[in-house]
Amino acid sequence: MPHRAGLSSLLDPLETALVNLRFSTFGAIERPDNVVIVAIDDATLAVANPLGQGRQTLAEIIDAIAAAGASVVGVDILLTDTGSSSGDRALAAALGNRPTVIAAAGSFAPDPAGQGIPVVQDLLWPQPMFTDLSDVGIVNISTDHSGTPRHVPMAFMTSRGLQPSFVVQTAALFTGDTPSLSTTALTLGERVIPLDIGLQMPLRLAGPTGTVTTIPAMDILAESASMDLSGKVVILGVTATGLGDRFPTPFDPDLPGVEVMATAVSQLVGGDLLRRDDMVRRLDVVSAILLAMICVVPALLLPLSIGVPLAAGVLALWVAVVWLVFGLGIWLSAALPLASAGLPSALAGMLRYTYEKRRAARSDRAVSALKKFQSPALGDRITQDPDFLLVPETRNLVVSFVDLTGFTQISQDLGPEDSEAFLKKFHIFLEQTVESRDGIVLNFMGDGALLVFGMFEPSGNPADKALQAAIAMARQIHALGTAEGFARPLSCRIGLHWGAVVLSRLGGDLQQQLTITGDSVNLCSRLLEVAKSESATIAATSDFIACLSEPLPLPVNHSATHSVRGRHGDVRLSFWLL
């Protein structure tokens, strides 16, 4: 809203920096060919002081400019005080020899009527003897917070009524046209100059000091006969050190005020314009709103890795457009879209980041919870490869079944809750024992479990580790029963076999379970019955024994050939009693 109304806002410092950068990007404009500065410089002041009582010298300078054929002379010097009578008469005569404009000035004041016209108070008006022979224009210009000149008002409201600016008066004398001023434009003949809010013309800074052709006043006095200023507007002003107005610009930290005046006059009489009017400000506002919507929506709705770069890309593209059209003379705001779209997009990105972080945390918790329904090794594999075992695989693995003996009566004595608590202890040490030897608890089955060794590239021989795990489990189960103080001894039976199994997913699309199937699994499960008949703790097939590479940790109690229920043929088995 402040931008639309042309008021100062918190964005002004950013816009100042960005517009200065744009001026620096495109560099100085071509030297104006119809405007010349005659400078009262340090060398002139060393000979005479035309700014004080020495108005005779100032008159000679103006006469020399007229003699060189200048069409119009704009005197950017305040002639508010009286000088010597002879000097004032000479100056008045000089001003009457050519179309001239002399300067008035004041200080800016608030606009109590809200008319949008710059108000000047404490007006410094030239002496009547000069105003009778010359037009008068006010030389005030509008600067930003850094002091850089940005606008030149075309008219001012003063104690004398509405007064034109110095540059309008000078340009009108040069073209011979009567200026027509509206709230949106200044018309000078066929030339229409769009205006910003408050009857102000945006200033297209030309370049560093010297961009406008500058002639020292002493050179004019010495060489007026040989100089040709015909068809030129001459701005007479001060460039001497420590005198006159000085302004910082993107091109020069200390640009003389007379060069600003000359630049503004050149814009009015045919030079390059910088457009920033009501239409441009409307475009700023509309683009800011649209950019905010275009940038914030993807930053909020799309994944962070897509939405934020997309929003940043759209914003960068618009800033590039703003940059390029500045070179064409259109001053679109760069700060407004950065604030209206950039800041909300950054906030939307932070919200999206927070949302995704929380969702990822929930997902991690869910994955962690789901992993508990599988062996950690299987859970990690499924997390890394969601398609694991979508196609069944046939592999040779060590299969093992373990089952507690005597637990049916023990659980009857314990009751449901204590039985559940004991089984939890049993499952915990079973997991630790198996997984520490690169095995996997594929399924818990009440007081038993299905174990697999060698599924995921174990270090060492999986058969050796399976036998070590079986012996450790048998001993720990007996110790656990003793520690719990059961009235009946607690033991187990374990079957061990090596052979081909099919790894696959059982179930439908909505619910699945990883398992192994095949004759090797059926055979291993039947070994528990055989172990019971032999009063043994561990029963292992000859195929399993053949896979062992290390010496047996315990000697085999005995070996025998057995028939297995449901299978054809006999199986050679080895037994351990623990």
- Name the one residue in this structure whose structure tokens are 């076999």: 497
> Each residue of 443-474: pLDDT tens digit?
988 889 999 999 887 678 999 999 999 999 99
- The pLDDT of residue 370: 59
Alpha helices in 29-163 (DSSP H): 42-47, 55-67, 85-96, 128-131
- Quote the pLDDT of residue 35: 95
* Alpha-helix runs per DSSP H in 48-98: 55-67, 85-96
Percent of the chain with pLDDT over 70: 96
Range 211-236 average pLDDT: 89
Confidence bin at 366 (pLDDT 50/70/90) = low
Q: What is the mean pLDDT of residues 491-499?
A: 95
- Which range (45-54, 211-220, 272-281, 489-498) has the least confidence? 45-54
354 by Cβ neighbours in 10 Å (0-12 / 13-18 / 19+) ranks as exposed
**Residue given tokens 């991690």 in the structure block:** 364
Cβ atoms of 49 and 77 within 8 Å: the answer is no
Average pLDDT over residues 144-172: 94
What is the pairing mode between strands 180-181 and 185-188? antiparallel
Q: How big is the chain, counted in residues?
A: 578
The alpha carbons of the chain give a radius of gyration, in whole angstroms, of 48
Q: What pLDDT is attached to residue 380?
A: 75
Axis crossing angle, helix 278-301 with helix 304-327, rounded to the nearest 10: 160
**Residue 555's pLDDT band (cuts 50, 70, 90):** very high
pLDDT at site 371: 60
Burial 67-76 (b: 16+ CB within 10 A, else e): ebebbbbbbb
Cα(273)–Cα(271) distance, integer angstroms: 6
pLDDT band at 410, cuts 50/70/90?
A: confident
Contact indicator for 531, 404 with CB cutoff of 8 Å: no
**What's the pLDDT at 137?**
96
Nearest-CA neighbor of 61 among 13, 9, 98?
98
pLDDT at residue 192 in the model: 93
Tell how strand 214-216 and strand 35-40 pair up: parallel
Compute the average pLDDT of residues 321-325. 95
Residue type, 387: D
Within 10 Å of residue 393's Cβ, how many Cβ atoms? 11
Q: What angle do CA 25, 26, 27 make, to 5 degrees?
A: 95
CA-CA-CA-CA torsion sign (276, 282, 286, 289): positive
Sign of the torsion angle spanned by Cα atoms 160, 163, 169, 173 = negative
As a dihedral over the C-alpha atoms of residue 214, residue 217, residue 218, residue 222, rounded to 10 degrees, the angle is 90
Confidence of residue 113 (pLDDT cuts 50, 70, 90): low
Provide the pLDDT for residue 83. Answer: 80
* pLDDT tens track for 417-448: 888 988 999 999 899 999 999 999 989 888 89
Helices (H), 328-342: 335-337
Crossing angle of helices 376-384 and 343-371, in 10° steps, is 140
H-type helices in 340-398, by residue range? 343-371, 376-384
User: Can you name the residues that pair with 396 across neighbouring β-strands?
Assistant: 500
Of 5 and 224, which is predicted with more confidence?
5
Q: Which domains does the chain have, with CATH numbers?
A: 31-274 (no CATH), 279-371 (no CATH), 376-576 (3.30.70.1230)
Q: What is the pLDDT of residue 105?
A: 95
- Classified as helix, coil or strand, 236 is strand
- In this structure, the number of other CB atoms found within 10 A of the CB of residue 81 comes to 12
Report the candidate in 331, 328, 342, 345 with the shortest Cα–Cα distance to residue 283: 331
Question: Are the C-beta atoms of 188 and 172 separated by less than 8 Å?
Answer: yes
CB 119 within 8 A of CB 162: no
Mean of the per-residue pLDDT values of the chain: 89
At 250 the three-state DSSP class reads coil
CB 538 within 8 A of CB 471: yes
> Does position 154 have pLDDT exceeding 70, yes or no?
yes
- CA distances, 571 to each of 512, 542, 546 (Å): 34, 8, 13
SS3 392: coil
What pLDDT shows up at residue 247? 94
pTM: 0.66
